[in-house]
Structure 1
């Protein structure tokens, strides 16, 4: 059965479950199971290549030990499966003990599950969903990358969830921006509102062709950095990066606006920043207080521009999607932010995007700003 048919089957099964309400919850349900399946596949790789590798998961919580139906009548299903998922699996994953020495590849499990939920209330339907997902073969490099393409289908279906525009940028746009910014192996590339990881994946595609040696592959593994505030896109991003063989994805489930920008040091800066920050939202006073008085806009996108300018290395390059409101707004904070951009950075290119790029999910007119620091 084709991968696209599997996704459709999953959606059809979940429509019969009283606990799932709408596309966003269906996608979250598919994604947490997929994440654990993909993580299980990665752990097999890590165990093969590293004799000292030890899973952070207790044996009974490893996907291979509870999710696989061996057709011997012993697979968890019905109330027993629901009880395990709701009362053992999720509480344990949310409370995994981590230390500063814990590998990113292991801390990501706790981060991915801290704000996610199992919505399904029918354990028999949940078993059907898990069995359907288990039909996906992710063991080989080609199979994993083929599934990466189908993963786009899941991301695009976010758009029908209504609020997708805030964390899904069309792949043609992210690929174009990564190509235009000309990312280079060894550079640190960031997205401070990374959503499902579109810009990070596009940057990795550009870097992949530059990998020639084992050392290059190690450098490639540590090139990207992302922060995402919302639980579902963070989980999607983590899954996306694991699919693209980033073993220790340096992504964080956090809000980029909660740190005072005066505290950023040179080590917190990046060679390249690629972003489509959230716009249309407003921020509370405690968030605005993290910025100099003259730059304290209420508009979320404006505050992200402050963070971008504060965290771009000297001679660093940025490509950022911003609404017309940023370009043409006349309130004091907007004017001050634009003045800083024009006086301290080289804004060399502005590309106006067609209305159709984000239609019909938003009618806001947007632009790509390309600029360098210093």
Structure 2
């Protein structure tokens, strides 16, 4: 969450847009997104240049030499944020309007790319040079403040805070998954260099960005020093779909800023017939919207065959099974109702995952994880598509703390189960002897099937009752008489003082 000084700087920046005449919150978020992208493009270009120099690899800056902008050829250095932010207001405005903005709109040469598709109709809406000068100065202050904060996904946190200002935020389930929860899920799944990764409800592409970061940190040699793997990483690995064009723009820019040249991010209603993907992906990471009900008419008939329901959280599970190739893995967040719901559709989807595929883990999360935007209790399901069963023992974990307070403030705390969850998940052989009274344990498939495929951890967790021995009535009465004697003595002493 954005707090303190950074929050006040973003509020001030929002106020500049508001007083300057941009009163539609979506317009403000879009314009701020473009400007953040322009700033981050300069920063990431410098970072990539330094990394290439350290590794002794060739690197050509996108700002190097003469750059083609429309029919004009301009000096690329002028397009860098670190250069034009020192220009006088009038020159900065003309540079932004006539050079920088057209440059980022056509940054990706492939006209069929997601980036070109969603930037093609982007419009620069800042009305005056003075307003732009104020915005750029305010953003420099915001980034200076952000640089002082360590281990925080500033861009993601800023998007989350901006979305909280939208009156419609949450109506469509657009709650950003907290950064540390995303990273935990990625660490649990350990993406590989040959994975094809998808998030069918990608929003700002947080899961895809985190998967890319994991590969950079843990499989750098394998991914970036192999021509085939690097091409796969840049052009074929990452796939994201969403129904909000603003989110798609943000997602495409977010991925490019994080060094992925050509992510496949597309406008698509994942649950409808316009989504033909089947047996395609080896890894799905998702927090699909729990926005209630859809009309049967717009839902893919394939999904309804498996799970006849209008509830999106159940339909998305059916979708994940369809989109995964055999052997493909999924980690997804579901509301608690999916785990124990008693409707035919609830039972059908749980049975499908358990009987016809391999359910590996159910991680129950506390209800405060999505606060202050939602207080719903959720869980993470981890399963592998086999098409022929394979579930034997399901691993359950009862997460009680995620490193932050579980109230609306979400202040950092020392209690954090996430490192323990990751360590235990990757060493499940050692979990076999754990009792049901502990924080994690195994439950055999037969027991789950006998309970209508109920996956609620409370169904299987046992509470250990420790007998408490109390003193006898005679001892308690003797203690009370002693106390009464002391009180009487003190009262007598007080009375003597008052004489």
Which interval holds the TM-score relative to the shorter structure? Answer: 0.7 to 0.9
2:131 pairs with 102, 107, 125, which one? 125
Contact map agreement 2:333 2:381 (CA 8 A) in 1: yes
Query: What TM-score, normalized by structure 1, do the two folds share?
Result: 0.76
Distance 1:110 1:50 in 2: 22
Q: Distance in 2 between matches of 1:190 and 1:148?
A: 24
Going from structure 1 to structure 2, the CA distance change for 1:47 and 1:6 (only over 3 Å counts) comes to farther
Q: Is the 8 A contact 1:69 1:75 kept in 2?
A: no
Per-residue deviation at 1:264? 3.7
Relative to structure 1, the CA distance from residue 169 to residue 218 in structure 2 (aligned partners, 3 Å threshold; closer, same or farther) is same
Query: For residues 45 and 11 of structure 2, what CA distance do their matches in structure 1 show?
Result: 28
Query: Please, which of 267, 270, 283 is the counterpart of residue 253 of structure 1?
Result: 267
* Superposed CA RMSD: 4.2
Local SS of the residue matching 1:233: helix
Partner of 1:14: 17
Aligned 1:153-302 pairs, distance under 5 A: 153-158=157-162, 160-161=164-165, 163=169, 166-208=174-216, 209-212=218-221, 213-215=224-226, 216-221=229-234, 222-259=236-273, 263-266=276-279, 269-294=280-305, 295-302=307-314
Q: 1:325 aligns with which of 318, 332, 337?
A: 337
For this pair of structures, how many residues does the alignment match?
352
Distance in 1 separating the partners of 2:154 and 2:19: 24
**TM-score where L is the length of structure 2:** 0.59
Distance of 1:57 and 1:281 partners within structure 2 = 46
Task: Check the 8 A contact 1:191/1:226 in 2, yes or no.
Answer: yes
- Structure 2: stretches of 5+ with no match in the other structure: 50-58, 387-499
Moved over 6 A (4+): 2-6, 40-46, 53-56, 60-63, 134-137
Distance 1:5 1:63 in 2: 32
Deviation at 1:133, TM superposition (A): 4.5
SS across alignment from 1:186: coil
Preserved contact between residue 195 and residue 237 of structure 2 (Cα < 8 Å): yes
1: CA distance between counterparts of 2:32 and 2:250? 10
Q: Who is 1:356 aligned against?
A: 368
| Alpha-carbon spacing, 1:260–1:247, altered in 2? closer, same or farther (3 Å) | closer
Kindly provide the CA deviation profile for residues 184-240 of structure 1, in whole angstroms up to 9, marking residues without a partner as x: 112111111111111112211221121115325444324222112212222222222
